[in-house]
Amino acid sequence: MLKYILKKVLLALPVLIGITMIDFALMSLAGSPIDMMTGPRMSQEAIALRAAEWGLDQPVWKQYLGWMGDVLQGNLGYSYESYEPVTKIIGEKLGPTLLLMSASLVVGLLIAIPAGVYSAIHRYRKRDYAVVTASFLSSSIPSFFLALILVYIFHVKLGWLPSSGMTTPNTGGGMLDVLRHMVMPVLVLAVSISGSNIRYVRSAVLEILEMDYVRTATAKGLGKRLVVGRHAWRNALLPIVTVIGMQVPMLFGGAVIVEQVFSWPGLGLETFSAITSRDYPVVMGVCLLSAVVVLAANLLTDIIYALVDPTIRYD
Amino acid sequence: MRNMATIWKRFCRHRLAEACLVILLVLGTMAILAPLIAPYSPTAPDMKAMNKPPSAAHILGTDKIGRDMYSRVLYGMRVSLMVGALATVISTAVGVALGLVAGYFGGWADRLIMSFTDMVMSFPYILLVLVAAAIFQPGLWTIILILGLVNWPGVCRLVRGNVLSLRETNFIRSDVTAGMPRRFILLSEILPNTLAPVLVYGTSVFALSILDEAALSFLGQGVQPPMASLGNLLGAAQSLSTLTGKPWLWLPAGVVVIVLVVCINLVGDALRDAMDPRNSQ
């Protein structure tokens, strides 16, 4: 088992390095962030000095190696904007994003799994079509549009929920306040997660329902509830585990848009502003972090899969 | 590929998908004919009719500099459909080419292509798109290229898998034994046999591209004004006064996006069902 995990980690490493190379190459193509701050008030010498300070006068490959060397020592560099260490910025913003992502994942799966199983059991009936059509609808609504409609209804019209931020300014905040701020962003993300997953769960369960052991269970006279609840459902869990792993990159992307619309003080909002202001160390840091998270999620999926499924061999 | 008539007959059993196809055809025709059927220019301001709610003269009202919203939605739909279609064509072409090579030749080419695919896939997709859009001047062609060059890994994996299983079939084996040239085997034997799943997958790429264009333009990183796209029309609703007071500025564009994407997805799903050889009721 250990050997299997080690092998997977070793396979993921070149992918990770490749991703950072692509990032770096993309950003060097964009031109120097110094261009953004040049103006009549900055002399040529000052610009050259700044470039030398940030290492931007070096060839790209040297910049990359320097960055990589720092990363290996746990230093992600300093923001061009605020001069704060990137690790500190990410550390501050990660919490709210993780809170948002995990809550959305849980809510999304709580909708998707029962709906998918229900739909599979009632295959080709009206109820099945209704669930599938609803799932298409929810994965087809642009998340920002759904966000706008929710703001329109629950903030503007009804005044029930706050429309931006994580806590109400000038109050102590507190659990309840954060929860109230979370409702709409989580709902938006959960809808898009459940949309694609309902169909996935449905087809996973359908596949299991055609298995011989399910037919055996039915043949020996077990009721539908027992067949599905005890035999089919547990085996369908396996493919569902993979889906959870696949959600992570999608969630990360969704968070950028949702955080933007709701001004949620997380990594997505920070990333978007860093991208538009060409704050490269911050963008590189976020890219690295997200790549690590995504690869770790893939790895975890593989491991859980190997643990649960006896037909997968470790070596 | 199965007989076209059979597929069509089985597709038509999905009434909802059939209706969606009709809607798509109507909307597509409207988009293509936009210059002919739009009552006003989509970019010409009219100082005498600013911020007007829907009326007989402007059936979807006008925006803050008096541009006719119905014309803008028509042109926006045209742009969004074009972005979606071209991005799909690019990513499908790239994915099919790489998938064929990886699957058929195997070895180091396969390993190289698949690890590159893994890299692109494990990148949070919107992050890559945002970085790329911010770096190269945002605009119509940039967004088409970016979406096209980011969306191919799924197609690539699909084609590779198909080629791997086709390679073991008897008719390909007999081609190899008969000494057929590689080019013939790849392009005339293997390619046509993977076309059906690629077509189905293409519909979901099409739908995704339209959604992504909308999201990017909404964030101001996509199609740039004054050119209208469904995404940047929706972007107007970011201001609270527009959101609350002038729903005619954003609601139609939002409804069109949803209708387009839902219809494309449902048509794709029915197509998948119709082409699935396991369904033979």
Contact A76, A86 (CB under 8 A): yes
**In this complex, is the C-beta atom of A134 within 8 Å of any C-beta atom belonging to chain B?**
no
Peptide bond into B226 cis (omega under 30): yes
**Confidence bin at B281 (pLDDT 50/70/90):** very low
Q: Which has more confidence, B25 or A45? A: B25
Per-residue pLDDT reduced to its tens digit, B200-253: 899 989 998 999 888 888 888 888 878 888 888 888 777 777 777 788 888 888
Q: Taking the mean position of all CA atoms in its chain, how far away is CA A193?
A: 10
**In this complex, is the C-beta atom of B134 within 8 Å of any C-beta atom belonging to chain A?**
yes
Euclidean distance between CA atoms A247 and A197, whole angstroms: 9
Using a pLDDT cut of 70, give the percent of chain A over it: 88
**In this complex, is the C-beta atom of B274 within 8 Å of any C-beta atom belonging to chain A?**
no
Asked whether the beta carbons of residue B135 and residue A286 sit closer than 8 angstroms, the reply is: no
Asked whether the beta carbons of residue B257 and residue A283 sit closer than 8 angstroms, the reply is: no
Q: Which has more confidence, A34 or A293? A: A293
Which residues sit opposite A85 in a β-bridge? Answer: A78
Contacts of A17 (CB under 8 A, 6+ apart): none
What are A46's two structure tokens? 């000052």
Taking all residues of chain A, what is their mean pLDDT, rounded to a whole number? 81
**In this complex, is the C-beta atom of A10 within 8 Å of any C-beta atom belonging to chain B?**
no
Q: Which has more confidence, B17 or A239? A: B17
Is this structure's pTM higher than 0.90?
no
- pLDDT of A30 reads 65
Rg for chain B (alpha carbons), in Å?
22
**Confidence bin at A314 (pLDDT 50/70/90):** low
Taking all residues of chain B, what is their mean pLDDT, rounded to a whole number? 84
The ranges assigned to domains in chain A are 2-72, 89-308
Euclidean distance between CA atoms B222 and B233, whole angstroms: 12
Euclidean distance between CA atoms A301 and A246, whole angstroms: 9
Mean pLDDT value of segment A123-128? 86
Mean pLDDT value of segment B266-275? 85
- pLDDT of A199 reads 86
Asked whether the beta carbons of residue B16 and residue A133 sit closer than 8 angstroms, the reply is: yes
Is the model's pLDDT at A313 over the cut of 70? no
Euclidean distance between CA atoms A233 and A207, whole angstroms: 11
Euclidean distance between CA atoms B149 and B88, whole angstroms: 9
Q: Which one-letter DSSP state was computed for residue A313?
A: -
Q: Which has more confidence, B60 or A310? A: B60
Which residues sit opposite A293 in a β-bridge? Answer: none
* CATH fold for the domain made of A89-308: MetI-like fold (1.10.3720)
> In this complex, which of A26, A140, A294 lies closest to B131 when CB atoms are compared?
A26
- pLDDT of B2 reads 53
* Listed range (A109-113, A161-165, A271-275, B120-124) with the worst mean pLDDT: B120-124
Residue type, B69: M
Q: Which residue of A has its CA nearest to B218?
A: A144
Contacts of A10 (CB under 8 A, 6+ apart): none
Mean pLDDT value of segment A118-126? 86
Q: Which of B120, B123, B259 to mutate to test the interface with A (most CBs of A within 10 A)?
A: B123
DSSP alpha helix (H) spans, B106-190: 107-121, 125-135, 140-150, 152-167, 170-177, 182-184
Helices then strands, each counted (H, E), chain A: 13, 0
Is the model's pLDDT at B24 over the cut of 50? yes
Asked whether the beta carbons of residue A145 and residue B234 sit closer than 8 angstroms, the reply is: yes
Per-residue pLDDT reduced to its tens digit, B114-150: 888 888 877 766 777 777 776 777 788 888 988 898 8
Euclidean distance between CA atoms B60 and B73, whole angstroms: 9
Give how far B182 is from chain A: nearest CA, Å. Answer: 31
Give how far A275 is from chain B: nearest CA, Å. Answer: 6
Selection from A303-312, B3-12, B42-51, B256-265 with the highest mean pLDDT: B256-265
Rg for chain A (alpha carbons), in Å?
24
Euclidean distance between CA atoms A204 and A117, whole angstroms: 9
Q: Which one-letter DSSP state was computed for residue A82?
A: T
Residue type, A129: Y
Whether this model's ipTM surpasses 0.95 comes out as no
Burial class of residue B167 in the structure, from the number of CB atoms within 10 Å of its CB (0-12 exposed, 13-18 middle, 19+ buried): middle
Give the number of beta-carbon pairs within 8 Å between A and B.
Answer: 122
How do the residues of chain A divide into helix, strand and coil, expressed in percent and rounded to 5?
A: 75, 0, 20
